[in-house]
Amino acid sequence: MLDQAFQALADPTRRAVVERLCDGPASVSELAQPFPMTLAAVVQHVQVLETAGLVTTQKIGRVRTVQVDPAGLRAAEAWLTARRTRVERQLDRLAALVERTPEPSTPEEE
């Protein structure tokens, strides 16, 4: 699922769709409005986001409504947070080690 989530987020239009949906659910045609692309292209982007678990869609009558699935965002975020904190801890340990290491003695200048 992380493969698909990160893949989905690698596209600026798909990130813009997620961005828009952060303000609330929208129909596919509402989503399409700000983008210079066909409705079909937007539908395809939405499908990629849905497969990746980043949005859910619901069809009522003829209108398909799209909303963000916070769980999908959370999964990708959690992967990054865990690695980032591990790296930072490792860098802190390294910095502490450097601090504890006595400087090599240099011959005094005369």
First to last CA, the chain: 66
Nearer Cβ to a copy of itself (39/47) = 47
Cβ burial of 67 (10 Å; 0-12, 13-18, 19+) is: middle
Binding positions for a copy of itself, 48-87, rule CB under 8 A: 68, 70, 73-74, 76-77, 79-81, 83-84, 86-87
Q: Residue ranges of the alpha helices (H) in the chain? A: 2-9, 12-21, 28-32, 39-51, 70-100
Query: For a copy of itself, which stretch binds (CB under 8 A), given 8-16, 39-47, 58-66, 98-106?
Result: 8-16
With contacts defined by CB under 8 A, how many residues of the chain interact with a copy of itself? 33
Using CA atoms of 58, 61, 65, 69 in order, give the dihedral in degrees to the nearest 10. Answer: -10
**d(C-alpha 75, C-alpha 54), whole Å:** 9
For position 9 contacting a copy of itself by CB under 8 A, the verdict is yes
Binding mask 15-44 for a copy of itself (x = CB under 8 A): x--xx-xxxx--------------------
Contacting residues toward a copy of itself, per CB under 8 A = 2-4, 6-7, 9-12, 15, 18-19, 21-24, 68, 70, 73-74, 76-77, 79-81, 83-84, 86-88, 90-91, 94
